[in-house]
Structure 1
Amino acid sequence: MHGDTPGYLPKFIYGQLFTRLPKPTRSFAGRTVIITGSDSGLGFEAARHILKLRAAKLIMAVPSTRKGQKAKSLLIKTTRCKPSVIEVWPLDLSSYDSVKAFSARATTELDRIDVLLQNASVSSHDWSIAEDNEQMITVNVVSTILLAFLLLPKLRETANKHSTRPNLTFVVSDAHMFIDFPEKDAPEGIFNHLKDKSKAKMNDRYALSKMIEIFAVREMTELRPREEYPVTINMLNPGLCESDLVREGGNLQMKMLKKALARTTEEGSRTLVHGASAGADTHSHYLSNCQVCPTASLVHGPEGAVVQKRLWNELMAKLEMIQAGVTGKL
C-alpha cells in the first residue's frame, strides 16, 4: 500500500458509486472561457455544458486544430450555439513555444478571459522526452503552470475592467492519494531526478505529476491569498471517468476497475464546470465530488510544506529559463 491508500480507498469507491454530482446550472452569460484539451473527453463535455449555459465565447485550446474543428461542429450541432461563439486555437503543451504563442494571442485578441480551465493532461507508461523533461512532467506540470502565469495578467485585467472574479481552475487527480514521493529528497534536485530514465517509476508518473501540480497550485494561492487577489484559483479531481486519458495502459486491473467504478465522461465533466464556476470560497482548495476535500496527507502535512517550497523554487527557476520575468506575472 502506498500514500493514503488504506484510508482513502473506501472513500474513493463510495464516491464513485454513490455520489450524485449536481448538473451545472450557473450561467456563463457574457463570459469568455478557455478550455485546454476540449476536443474530446472531459474537456469536450465541459465545453458542451458551458455552451448550454450561454458562454459568450469559448476558446478550444487543442493540439490538433483538425480534430478541434470536428469537435466544434459537433458542439454547434448539439448545443445550437452560434458558430461564432466557438474558436479553435492550437495549443501543444509539449512545446513551450506553443504555450507562449497561445498566451500572446489570447492576451492580444481577447477582450477578456473569465475562465481558464486547465484540463489537458497526458498519461503514458512509455518514456518520452518533451522539451527538458519527461513528457508528463512537461505537459502536466511545467507547461500548465507556465500557461497560468502568462494568462493571469489578463484574468486580473478582466476582474478590474468588468468588476467580476475570473476562475483559474486546474484539473488534477485523486491518483496522488495512492503514491509515495521518494523523489522529493533527491540530492540532485527533484526535476533533475525525474528526467533520469534509469530512475523513473513510470507506473506512478502520472499520479506524481498531478501531485506536483497540486503542490504548485497550493503555493500559488499561499502567495496570493483570496482576500488580496481578484482571481479564484482552485483545483479539482474529476474521479475515475471514461475518458481518452490512458492512465494505466493495458493494465487489466485498471480496466476491471474502470468497468466497475468509472463515471461517464458527462458526469465527470460536471466537476470541471463546478470548479470553473465556483466562488471565492474555493480559492486555494482541492475539490472532489464538487466539494472541498483534503489532499493527501503528504501534501497538507508538516513535511508537505518543505517539499512544496523546494518544488516551487525549482519550478520557478525552470520557468525563468523558459521566459525571463514570467514568474513576476503571478
Structure 2
Amino acid sequence: MGQVLTALRHAIRFAFGGDLSNHLFANLPVPTSDLTGRTFIITGSNTGIGFAAAVHLARLNPARLVLGVRDLKKGEAAKARIIAETRFSSVIDVWDLDMADFGSVKRFAERAGTLERLDGALLNAGMNGTTWQTTRDGWERTLQVNALSQGLLGILLLPLLHATATRPDASPHLTFTGSAGRGRQASPILTKKLRRSHRFDSVVEPGFCVSELMREHNFNGFVTFVHSRIGWSSAKGSLNLLYAALKPTPPGAYVSACKIRQPESWTSNKEGLELQKRVWNEMVEIWCCVAPEVAAIVQI
C-alpha cells in the first residue's frame, strides 16, 4: 500500500506542478556535435543513463571516453556494447571507481590527472537505497555516494578542467546528475558555490526514467506499470546530460528537459541560503580531511 501511495504522490506532484504534460510530450534534441580530439569522463556508465550517455558520446567521435565503474567486469561488458552499437574506434578506458569509498574517488581523480585534457566530466553515478548502511568511511551509504563523493570528485577534477579551458578549441563542462531523490539535493548547493570562481558546472535533472537506479526497491505490479508507462527510456533521459555537457550553459545552470530551468525555490530563499552555507562548509571540512588539496582548489 505504501508503494501505491508513493506512486500516486509522485503522479500528483507532476500533475499539480505542471510537469506531467511536459514530461510526456517533451521532444529532446539529439546532439550532433563533432567531438574530434576531445576527452570525456562518465561515471556510473556501465548501465542506465550513464551508459546511454556514453553511447551518445561515442557516436560523436571523441578521442577518448573514460568509463568510471564500480565493477570492472561490468564496465568491460559496457565497453564492448558501446563499440558494438556505435563502431567506435578511438580509446575507451574502463577505470575503477567506488563512490562509497573516498580512497577510490581520490585514486580515480589522480589517474584522471594524467589525461592530456578533459572536455567533460559527467558525474552521474548514484543510488537510491532502501536500507540504512554505512560505508567503510563511516558515512550513510546514499549520502556518501550521491553527495559527498560526487562533490569530492568534481572538485578534484577542477584543476584539469581549468587547464583544458586554456586551449583555444576547448569549452569544458562539469555536470552533476541531480535527481530529486535522496542525497541528490546537494548538487544545487555544489554548483551555486562553485559557479562564483569555476565556469564549468551545471546540475542535470534527467527526468523520470526507467533505469536501474531503483533496483533496490521491490515495487509491486501497479507501481511498475505506472513507471513503465510514463517513464522515459535511459537513452532519452541521458540527452539531458549531453545537453548540459555540450551546450554553452551558464555557470551553475539547472538543466531539465534540455532547457535551462529555475531550480527549486529552497535554493534561493533565506532559509535555503542559510542551509546551503552550512552544508557547504561542512562538506568542505569533510573533503579537506580526505584530500587536503581541496582547500586550495575551492579558493581558486
TM over 0.5: yes
Give, as a single letter, the amino acid of the residue that structure 1 aligns with 2:101.
Answer: S
In 2, Cα distance between equivalents of 1:250 and 1:300? 36
1:8–1:158: structure 2 CA closer, same or farther, 3 Å change rule? farther
SS in 1 for 2:33: coil
Please report how far the alpha carbon of residue 15 of structure 1 lies from its aligned counterpart in structure 2 after TM superposition: 2.2
Distance 1:127 1:15 in 2: 35
Matched, 1:320 2:295: no
Secondary structure of the 1:104 match is helix
- Aligned match of 2:153: 147
Give the Cα separation in 1 of the matches to 2:269 and 2:14.
15
Query: In the alignment, which of 243, 268, 276 is matched to residue 245 of structure 2?
Result: 276
Structure 1: which 4+ aligned runs deviate by more than 3 Å?
5-10, 251-254
Normalised to the residue count of structure 2, the TM-score between the two structures is 0.90
Q: Return closer, same or farther for 1:103/1:239 CA change in 2, 3 Å cut-off.
A: same
Q: Distance in 1 between matches of 2:275 and 2:111?
A: 35
**Aligned pairs, number:** 288
Kindly tell me: are residues 47 and 312 of structure 1, through their superposed partners in 2, closer, same or farther at Cα, counting changes over 3 Å?
same
Q: Deviations over 1:223-248 (max 9, x none)?
A: 32xxxx4x421111010111110177
1:168 matched to 2:174? The reply is yes
Q: Is the 8 A contact 2:177 2:187 kept in 1?
A: no
Q: Is the 8 A contact 1:149 1:327 kept in 2?
A: no
Residues 98, 278 of structure 1: alpha-carbon distance in 2 compared, 3 angstrom cutoff: same
| SS in structure 2 at match of 1:133 | coil
Give the aligned residue type for 2:210.
E
Aligned-residue Cα RMSD (Å) equals: 2.1
Q: Which residue, 125, 131, 143 being the options, matches 2:130?
A: 125
User: For residues 74 and 153 of structure 1, do their structure 2 counterparts lie closer, same or farther at Cα, with a shift above 3 Å needed?
Assistant: same
Partner of 1:135: 141
1:260 paired to 2:229: yes
Deviations 1:43-90 (A, max 9, x none): 1111111010111100011011110111111111111111x5211111
Is the partner of 1:235 in helix, strand or coil? strand
Does structure 2 retain, via aligned residues, the 8 Å contact 1:216–1:311?
no
Give the structure 1 partner of residue 273 of structure 2: 305
Distance 1:61 1:248, change over 3 A: closer
Q: 1:17 to 1:234 in 2, by over 3 A?
A: same
Identity across the alignment (%): 33
Q: Look up the match of 1:159.
A: 165
Q: In the TM superposition, what is the alpha-carbon distance from 1:8 to its structure 2 partner? A: 7.0
Alpha-carbon distance in 2 for matches of 1:295, 1:62: 29
Question: How big is each residue's C-alpha offset from its partner over 1:151-194, in whole Å with a ceiling of 9 and x where there is no partner?
Answer: 10011011114552200011111x2xxxxxxxxxxxxxxxxxxx
> Match of 1:52?
59
Q: Secondary structure at the match of 2:208?
A: coil
Contact between 1:132 and 1:138, CA under 8 Å: does it hold in 2?
Answer: no
1:26 to 24, 27, 33: 33
Rounded to whole Å, the distance in 1 between the matches of 2:21 and 2:233 is: 16
Instruction: Look up the match of 1:204.
Output: none
Residues 1:115 and 2:89 aligned together: no
Secondary structure (helix, strand or coil) at the match of 1:86 reads strand
Residue 217 of structure 1 pairs with residue 191 of structure 2: yes
Q: Which runs of 5+ in 2 are unaligned?
A: 1-5
In the alignment, the residues of structure 2 paired with residue 65 and residue 21 of structure 1 have an alpha-carbon distance, to the nearest angstrom, of 31
Matching of residue 87 in structure 1 with residue 93 in structure 2: yes
Quick check: 1:32–1:114 contact (8 Å CA) kept in 2? yes
Q: Specify every segment of 5 or more residues in structure 1 that has no aligned partner in the other structure, as ranges.
A: 176-206
Query: Aligned runs of 1:193-212 on 2, under 5 Å?
Result: 207-212=181-186
Report deviation, 1:96. 0.6
Q: Hey, what's the Cα distance between the residues in 1 that align with 2:100 and 2:214?
A: 17
> Equivalents in 2 of 1:263, 1:92: separation in Å?
27
In structure 2, relative to structure 1, the CA distance for the partners of 1:63 and 1:16 (3 Å cut) is same
CA contact (8 A) 1:23 1:270 kept: yes
- What is the aligned partner in structure 2 of residue 296 from structure 1? 264
TM-score by length of 1: 0.82
Distance in 1 (alpha carbons) for counterparts of 2:188 and 2:226: 24
Separation of aligned partners in 1, 2:227 and 2:52: 19
- Distance, in Å, in 2 between the alignment partners of 1:291 and 1:211 is 19
